[in-house]
């Protein structure tokens, strides 16, 4: 984003999730230091699995979070960077190659030319283009490079990572933001933003996957050589575990969430059969009607869902050729990453080194925000402080099939002759 010549520039981030909506307001100094001056969050309504299901309810959730942040910051905001999540986000790599003058070193003209060729007329097929990121260059099909300036060769190639989400889903999300009287200044995938806030530089260089376990979906971003190289998601998140508990123990969703938070664990131990927990039957609030069940009953509901989650993630990593790369690390973040034992289950199923990620790449972060559930919101602020992505000049939203093309030719002939 472009900064003014004022000493500070105000930026704001809006994390719209299935379990909560969070707004952060920050000041950026001229030396690019971010200082958070206000934040607000509340339970989200009208959002399920990262998808807007009720425009009015979702708008109210956004307005409440923004108002709380504005009151703390004592400042009004008009523009926000938003996150994009959900089980249908996808990514693909587009490559392009140009011939270059072998008698002179590679310069900006060559780099801009190969970038423009790669980004020319990108076909997104009824998707919204969220990201268009350079992931690396090659000279004469050699080793991957971050910067090919001043090298000699005959051919220059570039890889561009495209991040996509269904166009109709994005339109609903944008409508909610607009109904809250805000403009979208930029957008980023949730897992990409979380990676910016949680991963250290060595992890992004050597290779790491950030797994952001939200309420309605789990979003995935893989980094290597300092860049994201893969985006994906699965339609399983913390709310699925809560719903399983509610059904399995015949209790309300709010009490099921409380049981998950206080007593939940991703694997069973021998002591769990000996310990009892209190469960309120659904619709009952009388303490005399509380039933006691073994803690093992709760764990036996949670564990299969957590195992299923990481098996699905393992399939995603396998599709991208990352399942058997032993040096590849995994970082878990998001609200559900705080579930006891989840790290150990991830290590067992994914067969990788795993740690829990908290937002860490902003100095003087308020203690309340030093929590995995705020990784995306903090990462959006960091994303806003990065160089702007160069988007393609022309985006095609539909593929013209041969029948349509033939019909167009026939119409032209009828009109012309």
Rg of the chain in Å (alpha carbons): 24
pLDDT tens figures, 349-398: 999 999 999 998 898 899 999 999 999 999 999 998 887 776 665 666 65
SS3 91: strand
Residues 209 and 119 in one domain: no
Q: What is the pLDDT of residue 399?
A: 46
Q: What is the pLDDT of residue 400?
A: 43
Residue 85: inside a domain: no
Residues 332 and 253 in one domain: yes
Q: Residues of 304-332 as b/e, b for ≥16 C-beta within 10 angstroms?
A: ebbbebbeebbebbeeeebbeeeebbbbb
Band (pLDDT 50/70/90 cuts) for residue 415 is very low
Q: What is the pLDDT of residue 389?
A: 75
Band (pLDDT 50/70/90 cuts) for residue 104 is very high
The CATH number for 308's domain is 3.30.420.40
Lowest mean pLDDT among 13-22, 110-119, 164-173, 346-355: 110-119
Q: What is the pLDDT of residue 1?
A: 46
Q: What is the pLDDT of residue 410?
A: 52
Considering only CA atoms, which of 392, 395, 390, 383 is closest in space to residue 26?
383
Residues 346 and 210 in one domain: yes
Residue 216: inside a domain: yes
CA 226 to CA 51: how far, in whole Å?
A: 30
| Listed residues 314, 339, 359: the one ending a domain | 359
Residues 228 and 300 in one domain: yes
Q: Does residue 249 contact residue 259 with C-beta atoms inside 8 Å? A: yes
Residue 380: inside a domain: no
Residues 210 and 306 in one domain: yes
Band (pLDDT 50/70/90 cuts) for residue 67 is very high
Residue 116: inside a domain: yes
Q: Which two three-digit tokens encode residue 341? A: 């034992």
Chain-centre distance of CA 63, in angstroms?
22
The CATH number for 128's domain is 3.30.1490
Residues 101 and 160 in one domain: yes
Q: What is the pLDDT of residue 31?
A: 84
Residue 224: inside a domain: yes
CA 69 to CA 47: how far, in whole Å?
A: 21
CA 86 to CA 90: how far, in whole Å?
A: 10
Residues 217 and 354 in one domain: yes
Residue 225: inside a domain: yes
Q: What is the mean pLDDT of the chain?
A: 89
Q: Does residue 370 contact residue 97 with C-beta atoms inside 8 Å? A: no
| Listed residues 314, 342, 359: the one ending a domain | 359
Q: Does residue 72 contact residue 22 with C-beta atoms inside 8 Å? A: no
Residue 28: inside a domain: no
What is the number of domains present in the chain? 2
Question: What is the CB neighbour count within 10 angstroms for residue 185?
Answer: 15
Boundaries of domain holding 274:
201-359
Residue 341: inside a domain: yes
Q: Indicate whether 403 pLDDT > 60.
A: no
Residues 162 and 250 in one domain: no
Mean pLDDT of 16-23: 95
Lowest mean pLDDT among 244-258, 271-285, 289-303: 271-285
Mean pLDDT of 154-173: 95
Band (pLDDT 50/70/90 cuts) for residue 325 is confident
Mean pLDDT of 27-54: 92
Residues 317 and 220 in one domain: yes
Mean pLDDT of 267-291: 84
pLDDT tens figures, 216-235: 999 999 999 999 999 999 99
Mean pLDDT of 330-334: 97
Mean pLDDT of 25-44: 93
Mean pLDDT of 39-64: 94
Band (pLDDT 50/70/90 cuts) for residue 287 is low
Q: What is the pLDDT of residue 119?
A: 84
CA 240 to CA 236: how far, in whole Å?
A: 6
Residues 306 and 159 in one domain: no
Residues 247 and 351 in one domain: yes
Mean pLDDT of 32-59: 93
Residues 251 and 309 in one domain: yes
Pairing of strands 329-333, 291-294: unpaired
């Amino acid at each position: 984003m472009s900064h003014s010549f004022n000493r500070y520039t105000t930026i704001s981030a809006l994390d719209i999730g299935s379990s909560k909506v969070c707004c952060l307001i920050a000041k950026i100094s001229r030396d690019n230091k971010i200082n958070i001056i206000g934040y607000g969050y509340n339970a989200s309504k009208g959002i399920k699995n990262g998808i807007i299901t009720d425009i009015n309810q979702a708008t109210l959730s956004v307005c409440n979070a923004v108002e709380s942040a504005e009151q703390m910051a004592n400042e009004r905001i008009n523009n926000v960077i938003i996150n994009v999540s959900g089980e249908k986000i996808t990514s693909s790599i587009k490559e392009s190659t140009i011939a270059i003058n072998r008698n002179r070193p590679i310069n900006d003209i060559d780099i801009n030319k190969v970038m423009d060729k790669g980004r020319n007329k990108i076909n997104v097929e009824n998707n919204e283009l969220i990201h268009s990121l350079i992931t690396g260059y090659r000279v004469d099909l050699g080793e991957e490079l971050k910067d090919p300036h001043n090298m000699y060769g005959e051919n220059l190639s570039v890889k561009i990572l495209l991040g996509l989400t269904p166009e109709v889903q994005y339109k609903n999300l944008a409508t909610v933001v607009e109904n809250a009287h805000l403009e979208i200044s930029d957008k980023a995938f949730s897992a990409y933003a979380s990676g910016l806030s949680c991963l250290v530089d060595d992890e992004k260089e050597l290779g790491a996957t950030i797994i952001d376990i939200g309420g309605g979906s789990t979003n995935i971003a893989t980094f290597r050589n300092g860049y994201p190289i893969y985006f994906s998601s699965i339609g399983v998140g913390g709310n699925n575990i809560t719903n399983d508990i509610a059904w399995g123990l015949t209790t309300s969703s709010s009490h099921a969430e409380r049981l998950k938070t206080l007593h939940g664990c991703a694997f069973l131990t021998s002591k769990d059969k000996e310990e009892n927990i209190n469960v309120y039957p659904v619709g009952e609030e009388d303490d005399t009607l509380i039933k006691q069940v073994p803690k093992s009953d709760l764990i036996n509901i949670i564990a299969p869902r957590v195992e299923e989650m990481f098996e699905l993630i393992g399939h995603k990593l396998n599709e991208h050729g990352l399942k058997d790369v032993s040096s590849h690390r995994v970082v878990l973040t998001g609200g559900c990453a705080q579930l006891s034992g989840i790290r150990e289950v991830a290590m067992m199923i994914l067969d990788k080194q795993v740690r829990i990620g908290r937002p860490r790449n902003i100095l003087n972060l308020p203690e309340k925000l030093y929590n995995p559930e705020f990784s995306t919101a903090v990462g959006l602020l960091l994303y806003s402080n990065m160089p702007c992505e160069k988007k393609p000049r022309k985006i095609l939203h539909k593929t013209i099939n041969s029948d349509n093309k033939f019909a167009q030719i026939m119409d032209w002939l009828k009109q012309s002759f």
